[in-house]
């Protein structure tokens, strides 16, 4: 059973004094914001759907209490471990309270986060806390893990259980226009403190004092968490892929950072190599932002409290580049029973297909292995629903023909895949241990809601080592001319506690 631990939310960049003053008037620094959406019902009419906010939903779904201002911990007695707290690091830089404001410092925000965590551990008796951060808040958390705690001679894993980041610029913020002049002007002037997104400044607050020299080495990558610093399997990066809706509220930033972004952070800079991650078609913030979205919340909830981790790999595939001018891409969507949203969506339409023609092991956001990692809960999403242990993995294979960086459409059918099918997987954790069944949707007759797997669909555990369950599912015969006869999806399942 997953242990209840305090959750600390860390918000993102607020800009100058006016922005900071607006932020500090909100008791929850914006994490209490929800959203509404419309979808078409069975009668063809639009229906209303609401997401209440990550704070309220954790209270409703997981029984978490919402704590008061962090200063209240000084006078509090025992505090419930299943409680949520806001790291109000901007308060000291606001003019709202009448005191002389301090200039904002990311390092001081990370130091103050350390103090808050120490208080929470003392008051709750919890061994560690979960950190949940939006945008720059993820960099504050990484400053704590990679610099503040190592400089104190402490192990970050002793203080933090898991780190979940929404749309954090782990690799900094860069622009597609200006030939680097915009970045240099930002980093030179430090306008509103935005130089925290530049490479040299990131090197200062992400590197322990004992290891830091002057400028970062040429091979230093800000998005990497160094080996031994914090376990990568305890980090999750949610990556937004919708730049247009960020511009609705924030002007022309998507034009500056480019279309392969959430409107502010480019896709390839929004993840930590080796960490768990998911793509959702949401913007950096605003009405269609990642934080105030059901997609973001469901990924957060399952990462923090899910019973199982499932890694899906494409294995046994032959080299797919049959011609030098033809490349192959995969699109993946993940749906979980009981949810009205897609948990993970990596598609060409959203600027993030999986590039199967990249070298195996190349470490980018587009890396082909694994296809994805998901987290499942044996509890139902709601009391009136079945458990979320059935999921559908939609896999599409597409070929792209180009020459000299120009696409060729002579033999092309737009949005028509060379292979398109959905793997339906059912998992159960009963008295006999983990059992699973899988079948391709093209082989299922009738409605999916009526489908029940039979013995023929049961998957056998291929791994004799206890604690890790492994099974393989061959691709349908129609995919074999593309990927070869041995191509299959490998499911690796580990229990989480």
Domain boundary among 258, 275, 305: 305
Each residue of 298-337: pLDDT tens digit? 999 999 999 999 999 998 887 655 566 788 889 999 999 9
Whether 70 and 137 share a structural domain:
yes
Instruction: Tell me the helix, strand and coil percentages in the chain, rounded to 5.
Output: 25, 25, 45
Whether 89 and 205 share a structural domain:
yes
Biggest alpha carbon distance in the chain? 72
What residues make up the domain containing 60?
Answer: 1-305
Length of the chain: 497
**pLDDT score recorded for residue 36:** 87
Whether 291 and 325 share a structural domain:
no
Is the pLDDT confidence value at 219 over 90?
yes
Instruction: Taking residues 227-247, report their average pLDDT.
Output: 92
Please give the torsion angle defined by the CA atoms of residues 476, 482, 486 and 491, in that order, rounded to the nearest 10 degrees. Answer: -60
Asked if 279 and 457 count as a contact pair (C-beta separation under 8 A), the reply is no
Whether 467 and 417 share a structural domain:
yes
Report the domain count for the chain.
2
Please give the torsion angle defined by the CA atoms of residues 138, 143, 149 and 151, in that order, rounded to the nearest 10 degrees. Answer: 170
Whether 298 and 370 share a structural domain:
no
Whether 167 and 298 share a structural domain:
yes
CA distance 320 to 465: 32
Distance of alpha carbon 19 from the chain centroid: 26
Each residue of 72-91: pLDDT tens digit? 998 888 899 999 999 999 99
CA distance 205 to 132: 19
- The string of DSSP codes covering 1-16 is -PPP--EEEE-----S
- Token output for 45: 């009419």
Q: Beta strands 419-430 and 390-403: pairing type?
A: antiparallel
Whether 297 and 313 share a structural domain:
no
CA distance 216 to 312: 36
* CATH code (residue 295): 3.40.50.1820
Whether 229 and 347 share a structural domain:
no
Is the pLDDT confidence value at 381 over 90?
no
The whole-chain average pLDDT of the chain stands at: 90
Domain boundary among 276, 305, 334: 305
Q: 385: pLDDT confidence band, cut at 50, 70 and 90?
A: low
- Token output for 440: 């391709």
**pTM of structure:** 0.94
Domain boundary among 271, 305, 339: 305
Whether 241 and 322 share a structural domain:
no
Whether 315 and 274 share a structural domain:
no
Whether 299 and 328 share a structural domain:
no
Q: 355: pLDDT confidence band, cut at 50, 70 and 90?
A: confident
Q: Beta strands 7-10 and 35-40: pairing type?
A: unpaired
Within 13 Å of residue 170, how many CA atoms lie on the same side as its CB? 31
Each residue of 392-425: pLDDT tens digit? 999 999 988 887 778 888 888 888 999 999 999 9
**pLDDT score recorded for residue 202:** 96
Whether 237 and 357 share a structural domain:
no
C-beta pairs of 450-456 under 8 Å, 24+ apart in sequence: 451/424, 453/426
């Amino acid at each position: 059973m997953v242990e209840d631990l305090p959750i600390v939310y860390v918000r993102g960049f607020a800009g100058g004094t006016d922005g900071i003053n607006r932020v500090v008037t909100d008791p929850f620094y914006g994490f209490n914001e929800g959203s509404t959406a419309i979808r078409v019902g069975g009668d063809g009419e639009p229906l209303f759907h609401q997401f209440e906010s990550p704070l309220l939903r954790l209270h409703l779904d997981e029984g978490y209490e919402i704590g008061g201002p962090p200063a209240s911990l000084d006078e509090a007695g025992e505090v419930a471990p299943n409680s949520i707290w806001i790291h109000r690091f901007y308060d000291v830089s606001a003019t709202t309270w009448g005191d002389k404001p301090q200039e904002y410092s990311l390092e001081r925000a990370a130091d103050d986060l350390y103090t808050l965590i120490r208080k929470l551990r003392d008051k709750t008796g919890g061994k560690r806390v979960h950190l949940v951060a939006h945008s720059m808040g993820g960099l504050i958390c990484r400053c704590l893990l990679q610099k503040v705690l190592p400089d104190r001679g402490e192990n970050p894993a002793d203080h933090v259980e898991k780190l979940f980041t929404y749309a954090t610029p782990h690799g900094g913020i860069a622009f597609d226009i200006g030939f680097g002049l915009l970045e240099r002007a930002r980093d030179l002037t430090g306008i509103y403190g935005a130089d925290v997104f530049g490479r040299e400044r990131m090197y200062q607050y992400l590197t322990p004092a004992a290891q830091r020299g002057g400028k970062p080495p040429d091979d230093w990558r800000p998005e990497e968490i160094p080996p031994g610093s914090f376990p990568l399997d305890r980090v999750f990066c949610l990556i937004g892929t919708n730049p247009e809706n960020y511009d609705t509220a924030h002007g022309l930033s998507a034009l500056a950072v480019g279309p392969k972004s959430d409107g502010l952070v480019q896709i390839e800079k929004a993840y930590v190599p080796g960490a768990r991650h998911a793509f959702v078609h949401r913007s950096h913030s605003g009405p269609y932002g990642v934080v105030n979205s059901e997609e973001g919340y469901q990924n957060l909830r399952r990462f923090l409290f899910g019973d199982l981790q499932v890694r899906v790999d494409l294995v046994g595939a032959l080299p797919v580049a049959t011609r030098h001018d033809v490349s192959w891409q995969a699109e993946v969507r993940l749906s979980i029973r009981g949810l009205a949203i897609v948990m993970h969506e990596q598609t060409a339409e959203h600027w993030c297909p999986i590039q199967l023609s990249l070298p195996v092991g190349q470490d980018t956001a587009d890396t082909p292995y694994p296809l994805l990692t998901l987290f499942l809960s044996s509890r139902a999403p709601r009391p009136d629903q079945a458990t979320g242990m059935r999921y559908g993995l939609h896999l599409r294979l597409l070929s792209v023909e180009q020459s000299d960086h120009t696409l060729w459409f002579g033999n092309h059918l737009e949005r028509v895949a060379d292979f398109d099918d959905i793997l339906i997987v059912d998992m159960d954790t009963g008295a006999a241990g983990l059992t699973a069944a899988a079948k391709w949707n093209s082989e299922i007759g009738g409605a999916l809601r009526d489908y029940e797997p039979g013995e023929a669909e049961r998957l056998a555990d291929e791994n004799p080592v206890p604690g890790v369950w492994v099974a393989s599912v061959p691709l349908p015969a129609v995919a074999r001319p593309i990927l070869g006869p041995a191509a299959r999806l490998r499911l690796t399942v580990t229990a989480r506690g």
